[in-house]
Structure 1
Amino acid sequence: MKLCLPGLICLCLFVFSGITPCFPADNPRDPAPCIELKQLDISGNKQFSTLRLKLRTKLWSTTLVPFAKTCLNLDWLRKDKQDLVSFYRKKGFADASITHEIVTRNNGQALCLIIDEGLEYRIEIKGAVFFHPRQLKGEIPVFERGNLQDAGLRKGVINIRKRYHEKGFKDVTVTFTKEKTTIKGRTYWDVIFTINEKTRMRVASITIDGNRSISTDAIHKEMGLSEKGFLKNDGFSQHQLDDDLKAIKRLYLANGFKNASVKSDLTFEDNESIKGQPGIDVHIKIIVNEHDPILVKEVSIRGLGTLLDEGDTVRTLTLKPGVPFREYMVKSDENSIATLVSHKGYPHVRVKTEITTTSDTAVNLLFTVDPGPLVRVGEIRYTGNTRLKERTMQDLLKIKTNDPFSLQDIVDAEKRLRKIGAIQTVRIQAGDLKEKKSTADLEVIVKERKPYYVETALGHDTERLFYFNAQTGDNNSFGRDIDSWIKAEVSGIGFEGETGIKDPFFLKSDMTASLTLFVQKKEELNYDFGVKAWGISSNLTKPILPHLNAGLSLTYENRTRFGDEEDYNLATDPGDEYDTRNILKTSLALAYDTRDSVVRPRTGMFTSLTTDIYTGFNSDLDDFIKYALDVRQYLTPMKRVTFALRTRLGYIQPISAPEAIAEDRLFFLGGTSDVRGFKENLLAHDLDMEPVGGMSVVSASLESRISLTEKLEWIMFLDGGRLGETTGTAVEQGFRTSLGGGFSYGTVIGPISLLYGYKLNQDEYESPGQIHFSFGYTF
Structure 2
Amino acid sequence: MRGRLMAAALMAVLGLGATTQTATALESIDFNAEGASDSLMETLRASSLLLTAQEAERTAPLDLMAAARAEYGRLIGLLYEQAYFAPTIHVRVDGREAADIAPLSNPTTIDRIVVDIVLGPQFTFGEVSVEPLIAGTVLPEDFATGQPARSTTVRAALNTALDAWRAQGYALAAAADQRVVANHNANQLNVRLTLTPGPQLRIGTVVPQGQERTRPQRIVDIAGLERGEIHNPEDITDAETRLRQTGAFASVVLNTAETANPDGTVDVTALVQEAPPRRIGFGAEIDSESGGRLSGFWLHRNLLGGAERLRLEAAVDGIAARVGGLGYTLDARYTRPATLNRDTDLELGLNAVRLNERDYEADAFQADATLVRRYSDALRASAGLILRFESADFAGTSRDFGTFGIPVTVTHDTRDVALNATDGHYVWAEAMPYLGFAEAQSGLRLRFDARTYHDLGSEGRFVLAGRAQLGAVIGPDIDATPRGYLFYSGGGGTVRGLPYQSLGVTSGGTDSGGRGFAGLSAELRVRINDTFSVVAFADAGAVSSGVFSGETDWQAGGGAGIRYATPIGPLRLDLAVPIRRNAGVTGNNVQLYLGIGQAF
Whole-angstrom CA distance in 2 between matches of 1:549 and 1:558: 28
* Residue of structure 2 in register with 1:601 after alignment: 421
Q: Which residue of 1 aligns with 2:498?
A: 678
The within-5 A match list for 1:189-204 is: none
Contact 1:593 1:606 in 2 (8 A): yes
Q: Which amino acid aligns with 2:474?
A: Q
Could you say which residue in structure 1 is the equivalent of 2:5? Answer: none
- Is residue 549 from structure 1 mapped to residue 549 from structure 2 by the alignment? no
1:706 Cα deviation after fit:
1.7
Name the residue aligned to 1:422: 248
Q: For 1:715-754, what per-residue CA distance to the aligned partner results, in whole angstroms no more than 9, with x for missing partners?
A: 2111112112279xx9x78432222223233333433333
Structure 2 distance, partners of 1:595, 1:403, is 32
Q: Deviations over 1:172-208 (max 9, x none)?
A: xxxxxxxxxxxxxxxxxxxxxxxxxxxxxxxxxxxxx
CA RMSD of aligned residues (A): 4.7
Amino acid at match of 2:427: T
Cα displacement (A) at 1:674: 0.8
Whole-angstrom CA distance in 1 between matches of 2:345 and 2:200? 38
Q: State the SS of the aligned residue for 2:406.
A: strand
Give the residue type in structure 2 aligned to 1:754: L
* Maintained 8 Å contact 2:348/2:368: yes
Q: How does 1:64-103 map to 2 (within 5 A)?
A: none
**CA, structure 1 residues 736+388, in 2 after alignment: closer, same or farther (shift >3 Å)?**
same
Q: Is the 8 A contact 2:347 2:369 kept in 1?
A: yes
For the residues of structure 2 that align with 1:483 and 1:584, how far apart are their CA atoms?
26
* Equivalent in the alignment of 1:477: 303
Identify which of 759, 772, 775 aligns with 2:578.
759
Aligned to 1:645: 466
Are residues 438 and 453 of structure 1, via their aligned partners in 2, closer, same or farther at CA, if it must alter by over 3 Å?
same
- Kindly indicate whether the alpha-carbon contact (under 8 Å) linking 1:693 and 1:726 is maintained by their aligned counterparts in 2: no
More relative contact order, 1 or 2 (CA 8 Å, 6+ apart) = 2
Match for residue 707 of structure 1 among 527, 536, 553: 527
Cα deviation, 1:319-377, whole Å, max 9, x if unaligned, reads: 9xxxxxx999998996577446644x76579899xxxxxxxxxxxxxxx9976578787
Matches within 5 A, 1:331-370: 335=162, 338-339=165-166, 342-343=169-170, 347=173
Tell me how far apart the structure 1 counterparts of residues 296 and 243 of structure 2 sit (CA, whole Å): 30
What is residue 120 of structure 1 aligned with on the other side?
none
Residues 111-126 of structure 1: pairs in structure 2 closer than 5 A: none
Which residue of the partner structure matches residue 387 of structure 1? 213
Measured after TM superposition, the shift of residue 389 of structure 1 is: 1.5
CA distance in 1, matches of 2:517, 2:311: 34
Say which one has the larger Rg: 1
Structure 2 residue identity aligned to 1:643: L
Partner of 1:512: 345
**Does the Cα contact within 8 Å between 1:341 and 1:371 map onto a contact in 2?**
no
User: Per the alignment, do residues 695 and 450 of structure 1 end up closer, same or farther by CA in structure 2, a change over 3 Å counting?
Assistant: same
Shift of 1:773: 1.7
Q: Distance in 1 between matches of 2:276 and 2:311?
A: 15
The answer as to 2:350 corresponding to 1:531 is no
Q: Kindly indicate whether the alpha-carbon contact (under 8 Å) linking 1:692 and 1:726 is maintained by their aligned counterparts in 2.
A: no
For 1:624 and 1:437, locate their aligned partners in 2 and report how far apart those are by CA, in whole Å. 58
Q: Structure 1 residues 370, 747: CA separation in 2 closer, same or farther (over 3 Å shift)?
A: closer
Q: CA contact under 8 A between 1:342 and 1:348: conserved in structure 2?
A: no
The answer to whether residue 282 in structure 2 is matched with residue 456 in structure 1 is: yes
Secondary structure, aligned partner of 1:674: coil
Residues 590, 434 of structure 1: alpha-carbon distance in 2 compared, 3 angstrom cutoff: closer
Distance change >3 Å, CA 706–CA 452, structure 1 → 2: same
Hey, what does 1:73 align to over in structure 2?
Answer: none
Q: TM-score, normalised by structure 1?
A: 0.49
Q: CA deviation at 1:510?
A: 0.2
CA distance in 2, matches of 1:718, 1:445: 49
Structure 1 segment 542-621 matched on structure 2, within 5 A: 542-544=373-375, 547-562=378-393, 564=394, 567-568=396-397, 578-619=398-439, 621=440
- Other-structure match for 2:446: 627
Q: What are the Cα deviations for residues 627-661 of structure 1, in whole angstroms up to 9, with x where unaligned?
A: 22211111121342221111112222115x56643
The residue matched to 2:428 in structure 1 has which SS?
Answer: strand
Q: Distance in 2 between matches of 1:663 and 1:400?
A: 48
> What is the CA–CA distance in structure 2 between the aligned matches of 1:430 and 1:494, rounded to whole Å?
53
Contact 2:168 2:232 in 1 (8 A): no
Structure 1 contact 455–472 (Cα < 8 Å) conserved? yes
Note closer, same or farther for the CA distance 1:709–1:550 as it changes in structure 2 (3 Å cut).
same
Deviations 1:440-494 (A, max 9, x none): 6654322111111122335533475233322112121112111112221223331
Matched residue type, 1:648:
Q
Separation (CA, whole Å) in 2 of partners of 1:724 and 1:406? 53
Contact kept, 8 Å, 2:289 with 2:499, in 1: the verdict is no
In 1, Cα distance between equivalents of 2:55 and 2:167: 53
Query: Does the aligned pair in 2 maintain the 1:338–1:349 contact within 8 Å?
Result: no
Compared CA separation, residues 736 and 482, structure 1 to 2 (3 A): same
The 1:413–1:769 alpha-carbon spacing in structure 2 relative to 1, beyond 3 Å, is: same
Does the 8 Å contact 2:315/2:330 carry over to 1?
Answer: yes
1:144 aligns with: none
